Structure 1
């Protein structure tokens, strides 16, 4: 059997962790499990509490046909129905929708850990999660900085990982992420920017781009205006772009941050590497908030979610837009299938 036959007969498996039970995660997860476009693209193995997903289905107004299993049961192959691993870790009646709670944070963390374990053991080709609420998770795990730090610790990962925001025709990567603005300039070093550029090129190739075109934004207004507004573009970012080009990366810059996304939207670039969180996030969310996907790139398996948060203000109303989470799961299916085929190809070559 060739790789294509294998991929067709064994669709990718996505481990999907239910996010914050006090937010929109349960209703969005339920919508995904009732969405034939999602369930036909991959074998979805959801991790959570069956009472939470039942409440989510009720809020979303969908009917679910799931195959429930216990945490220690083997995962069924090619189940005709989405599989749900019932951790039995939260009675939704014990929490208040739209409010922070330790119980909600503990449930979300447990779901995430279990899904990550499936990815680490090779039982899932990709891992995804519906929106978390970091504040609730910190009530249980005070050191919870963000998903990248948590996953790095959980997996014992020694490599480099970064967060990417993805729209259908545009990716955004960043050199620094969840750090204060006051600390950004000191982190714009040659090594850090080159690391971000290399990881962007690698992640996009894994995402299906054969030769991604990457725009590298400047740090300062007008990309420093020839040194009038700062020298990071001259001393750091420009040399990184030259080094990347010497390695065969298709990259351009440093470009003025206030116009680089205009050029990218017109099709000049496939991605923009920005220097800090809001430099790219604001632009990407204005362009396509309801379709935005967040990918944690660099880990041993694809890891994706919707680019928005837990939306406590509308939780329980059944009005949350499922577009971003659907896009995340469909991309996870594509990347998971590509990863499975690549591993199968290596296996066949031995």
Structure 2
């Protein structure tokens, strides 16, 4: 069955509208899925002007739609006026628009009118100005969808995956937040998500917290007291996981295809590695949601917004991963 993928423009002040125009012009995109654009006409038209690429917006009933033979199916919203859009500026108006289109996409997911969705980059500062009550959009989505289980962003680059034991917390709080239960949740989440992306037998490694994996306790005991016992307990339950490996070498195993994923201890441990390898191609998967939701791993890029210079690679990767996840979802 052909995936039905919703796409929303993210923050209207950033590069999202331009990315969507470039994605719609990319070879093979319209053949890979039935696409429903969700958002305001003025935002999509702004993106076309910025990208120098046009496509026809075909209004449809979002509760009974199919991809038209020409143009792109479009569910119109009215979340921001063209006069309110300030390119390359964090504004409450753009944050409000991003929240509104995201919430509408979530409603369509729950109702079964789309199978998953891709969002162009959000600006968290703008969304908080507009009333976002959570640290990030993932936990907002989780609340809207009634999710009570573990949630975490997963990062993907060219088939290399990472998940996080801790995420948006201060570095000084990381060690205390790492528990056997939290590590198991992170491993289980990446295992389930890899299977849903089409990898039948994932190979997962855990990164150590301390330099040289603690050097036998000389540089910290988290590996001895927390990580290794938790990993051994998971292995006894046939979980496909090993480690903890020194974090300065485990990503070489990932790069060389020896493993499929690394479970990291904190946000930047994995982000630095993947973004260094391919910043312009990275994808974030909203891990733990009951539907596939993906986005480019980069931000709104205000430094180049409105200039027609945004690269579409990560947006295309996010779209392709969403399609794969729909096809393999269980």
Give the TM-score of the pair, scaled to structure 2. Answer: 0.96
1:123 is aligned to 113
Tell me how far 1:191 sits from its aligned partner.
0.6
1:174 is aligned to 164
Distance in structure 2 (CA, Å) of the matches to 1:243 and 1:210: 22
Distance in structure 1 (CA, Å) of the matches to 2:203 and 2:60: 44
1:12 is aligned to 3
2:63 is aligned to 74
Tell me how far 1:337 sits from its aligned partner.
2.3
Tell me how far 1:158 sits from its aligned partner.
1.7
Contact 2:6-2:38 at 8 Å conserved across structures = yes
2:328 is aligned to 338
2:192 is aligned to 202
Q: Aligned pair 1:190/2:180, yes or no?
A: yes
Give 2:40's match in structure 1, choosing from 49, 61, 69.
Answer: 49
Contact 2:208-2:265 at 8 Å conserved across structures = yes
Q: Aligned pair 1:303/2:303, yes or no?
A: no
Tell me how far 1:143 sits from its aligned partner.
1.8
SS, match of residue 285 in structure 1: helix
Distance in structure 1 (CA, Å) of the matches to 2:103 and 2:321: 21
159-168 or 79-88, larger mean C-alpha shift: 79-88
Tell me how far 1:82 sits from its aligned partner.
2.1
SS, match of residue 303 in structure 2: helix
Q: Aligned pair 1:38/2:29, yes or no?
A: yes
Tell me how far 1:88 sits from its aligned partner.
2.1
Contact 1:15-1:47 at 8 Å conserved across structures = yes
2:103 is aligned to 113
Give 1:103's match in structure 2, choosing from 93, 96, 103.
Answer: 93
Distance in structure 2 (CA, Å) of the matches to 1:30 and 1:148: 25
Tell me how far 1:142 sits from its aligned partner.
4.6
Distance in structure 2 (CA, Å) of the matches to 1:178 and 1:46: 30
Contact 1:16-1:128 at 8 Å conserved across structures = yes
Tell me how far 1:56 sits from its aligned partner.
0.5
Give 1:28's match in structure 2, choosing from 19, 26, 41.
Answer: 19
Question: For the structure 1 residues 142 and 328, does the alpha-carbon distance in structure 2 shift closer, same or farther, using more than 3 Å as the test?
Answer: closer
Specify every segment of 5 or more residues in structure 1 that has no aligned partner in the other structure, as ranges.
Answer: 1-6, 343-350
Mapping of residues 84-95 of structure 1, within 5 Å? 84-95=74-85
1:223 is aligned to 213
Q: Aligned pair 1:63/2:54, yes or no?
A: yes
Q: Cα deviation per residue 1:165-184 (whole Å; 9 max; x = unaligned)? A: 01122101111111111111
Q: Cα deviation per residue 1:31-72 (whole Å; 9 max; x = unaligned)? A: 1222242221111111110111001001101010221246xx
Mapping of residues 233-244 of structure 1, within 5 Å? 233-244=223-234
Specify every segment of 5 or more residues in structure 2 that has no aligned partner in the other structure, as ranges.
Answer: none
Q: Cα deviation per residue 1:210-233 (whole Å; 9 max; x = unaligned)? A: 111111001111111110011110
CA RMSD of aligned residues (A): 1.3
- Regions of 4+ moved over 3 Å: none
Distance in structure 2 (CA, Å) of the matches to 1:335 and 1:89: 29
Contact 1:198-1:244 at 8 Å conserved across structures = no
Contact 1:125-1:337 at 8 Å conserved across structures = no
Distance in structure 1 (CA, Å) of the matches to 2:9 and 2:327: 22
Contact 1:48-1:87 at 8 Å conserved across structures = yes
Q: Cα deviation per residue 1:128-167 (whole Å; 9 max; x = unaligned)? A: 1000001001111152310221111111212222111011
